[in-house]
A and B are shown apart, each in its own frame.
Chain A
Amino acid sequence: MYIIVSPRLGTPGDKYEPADGVNVQALIDGGLISTDKPKKSSKVKEEPVEE
């Protein structure tokens, strides 16, 4: 998934879905869009619930 960085493509922060034939790598190289990195799950374990 790609995220809009440049207002020339749309609203920054919105998802970007490339149309047919668009050179996505050129947009990334130019800093116009970014790739959305998946968030890592939290490593902090929840405390056990006492019953």
Chain B
Amino acid sequence: MATSVYLSNPSVTINSVDLSDQCTAASITYTVEALENTAFGSTARTYTSGLANNSITVTLYQSYAASETEVSVYSLVGTTTTLVLKPSSGAVSATNPSYTLTGAYLESHTPINASLGELSTIDLTFTGGTLTKATS
């Protein structure tokens, strides 16, 4: 029987810094670009694998306090880093796999993203890098 997943306690580590308690959304996009190799004589389009083009997007509450979001993120802009995401904060296992994106590039960051009457949040997109999955 199929089951639906409800994630309430994922683990999000950015550049070794555990920012799980500031994170409200996270997604990994695992992509291998499709290169068309259809040729004369083909009756349907066909593709072969190209370069991997992975990305991770996270939404974090902004905080300017020591050890919080801003100081953890600001210096990463324009550089590459490593992110580790897990469905749950528990030990890595087959049912709680760990996804590591190594060499991911952070192009931009919004140090101030404010609206009256709302908590400030920031959206970060890390692109590129090598994605690996661990189950132990």
Contacts and interface: CB of A to CB of B under 8 A. Distances in A.
Contacts of B71: 29-32
Interface of B: 15-19, 66-67, 71-72, 74-76, 79-82, 102-103, 129
A26 B78 CA distance: 11
A6 B76 CA distance: 17
Contact of B18 (A5, A8, A16, A31): A8
Interface residues of A, number: 19
B74 A30 contact: yes
Contacts of A27: 15-17
Nearest to A29: B75
Contacts of A19: 16, 82
A23 B80 contact: yes
A31 B71 CA distance: 7
B16, B18, B72 interface centre (most CB from chain A within 10 Å) = B16
Contacts of A21: 80-82, 102-103, 129
